Amino acid sequence: MEGNYNFSARAARIGTFTLIAGLIANFVPALYLAGVVGVMPQFTDLLQIYAVAFSAFGVSWVVQPLSFYPMLGVGGSYIGWLCGNVADIRVPAATMAQRVAGAEPGSPEGDVMSTIGIAASVFVSVAIITLFTLIGSAIMPLVPKFVTKAFGFILPAVFGAVYAELSRKHFKIGALTIVAGLAITFAAPKVGLPGSLLSICVIAGGIAMARIIYLSDKK
């Protein structure tokens, strides 16, 4: 337990520093354009852009860290949110690393394996992105349109694979969670539920199903 505490504490210290450094680095290109080139949008335009981004992704800024933390752990969460592509790359990498090592998500071993898996995925992502940046512009115009349209289904497919992997360990929770999610999704337009709250309601429904099963098994 002490070793896990030391790992989590050190990961939190390093992760806090790297996230702050990453936030500052994100503004360097904009500051260069504003200070050297003299290109700077109006403040009202910046507020409009932020409002659009917040309306589209604001809910995920809260929901995704809470949802993915049990699978990512402390170190994996810091690396994942710093490098991005959490749902479609980092979470599958973490779950696969835990599965290969036989470590349970949320356990000290699971946190370590999640961090290793996510760190490895970052190196792989950088290598692949660099490769496809160099040759992708020449290949993509030759790809049939039905293939490029299929790229839009990558994220749902990844979510489905992660759901299936986790549901194998708790079949009743997985089955009731998907039923609750489908019910909420179909009922949302009828009750006027905003799309921005749909993800939160589905997650809350899954948590409620898990709690009900836990209480029923405890009895």
What is the full per-residue pLDDT of the chain (219 aa) written as tens digits? 545 557 778 888 888 898 889 888 888 888 888 888 888 777 777 776 776 667 656 677 777 777 788 788 888 888 888 887 887 788 888 888 888 888 887 788 888 888 899 899 899 888 888 888 888 777 777 778 887 788 778 777 777 777 787 777 788 888 888 888 888 888 888 888 776 677 778 878 888 888 888 888 776
The single residue listed with the structure tokens 């260069």 is: 32
The single residue listed with the structure tokens 């959490």 is: 86
Is 182 within 8 Å of 175 (Cβ atoms)? Answer: no
Instruction: Give a yes or no: residue 177 inside a domain.
Output: no
Instruction: Give a yes or no: residue 170 inside a domain.
Output: no
The count of domains in the chain is: 1
pTM over 0.85: no
Domain that holds residue 41: 2-144
Instruction: Give a yes or no: residue 171 inside a domain.
Output: no
Is 79 within 8 Å of 118 (Cβ atoms)? Answer: yes
Angle at 168 between CA 166 and CA 170, to 5 degrees: 80
The answer for 41, left when phi > 0, alpha when psi is -120 to 50, beta otherwise, is beta
Instruction: Give a yes or no: residue 188 inside a domain.
Output: no
Instruction: Give a yes or no: residue 201 inside a domain.
Output: no
**DSSP secondary structure, 22-88, as one string:** HHHHHTHHHHHIIIII-----HHHHHHHHHHHHHHHHHHHHHHHHHHHHHHHHHHHHHHHHH--III
